[in-house]
Amino acid sequence: MIDGNTELIAHLGFPTHSFKAPLIYNPYFESVGVNAVVVPMGCRPESFAGVLRSVFQLENIRGALITMPHKVSTVGLLDEVTPTARVAGACNAVKRLSDGRLAGDMFDGEGFVRGIRRKGLALDGASALVVGSGGVGSAIAASLAAAGVARLALYDVQSASAEALALRLRTEYPTLVVETGGKDPAGFDLVVNGTPLGMNAGDPLPVDVERLSPRTFVGEVVMRTEMTAFLAAAQARGCPVQVGTDMLFEMIPAYLEFFGYPSTTAENLRAVARLNTPRLHS
């Protein structure tokens, strides 16, 4: 029930037809009695800067979810962003501070990190290889650095992307050991596929799974199928794994905390969500 006390969370992106976040947030709000609603708002890139400023003039707005194609441009439009957003080079959540300034953060990587931590992987002092330095790979690398990993190896077929990400990481986290140029998974505590490899049948695997140790935790971002060929191969070697959709459900509690709403678990969100598919465009 929407009434005069309902708070709005704008879901800004384009096009909106693929948005699934309202089908998760809104059932959750209803289930816990929070008078708030996530509303999809289609906005083309040329209008985005003005729309973002205008929507935060509303008195009953609690915040905004930012999705494609606006995550990168949002960083330069805000008064304050976290180190995670600076390293990721993107932002997917915005709120208005008490003094009226706009602050942003990035939770794609936080969802991934929360998921693997809940599965038992200790990240403080750990080593990680992240294959893919695009949007999601950069966000995961940023959150791994914030979580206290000691060594982070980056690989991307576009080496300039990996080098640029490495520079941002070294700037924000000067004690972090950052390496680029290789993707041998041997010896790492965590290996992450942050590329689209696995979206289609027959895609090559992102790393040589024969070089994986059974103790290495393996994470995936591809969501077209839960158990990708990469995860299946890693699991066959005895590795603990995390599927792509876990990252997305795990990030929503972080969003809720950012906006000041009661938090929950990924399991509760899955239980109340009205999705017909495991895929989510957040």
Q: What is the DSSP letter of 14?
A: S
Backbone φ and ψ for 274, nearest 5 degrees, come out as -110, 50
CB 117 within 8 A of CB 123: yes
Find the catalytic residue in 71, 95, 119, 183: 71
Q: Is 71 part of the annotated catalytic residue set?
A: yes
Alpha-carbon distance of 83 to 96, in angstroms, equals: 18
Both structure tokens of 211: 């070089």
Instruction: Tell me whether residue 218 is exposed, middle or buried, using C-beta atoms within 10 angstroms of its C-beta: 0 to 12, 13 to 18, 19 or more.
Output: buried
Alpha-carbon distance of 99 to 88, in angstroms, equals: 26
Query: How far are the Cα atoms of 132, 196, 272 from residue 156, in angstroms, in the given order?
Result: 5, 12, 37
**Which residue numbers are catalytic?**
71
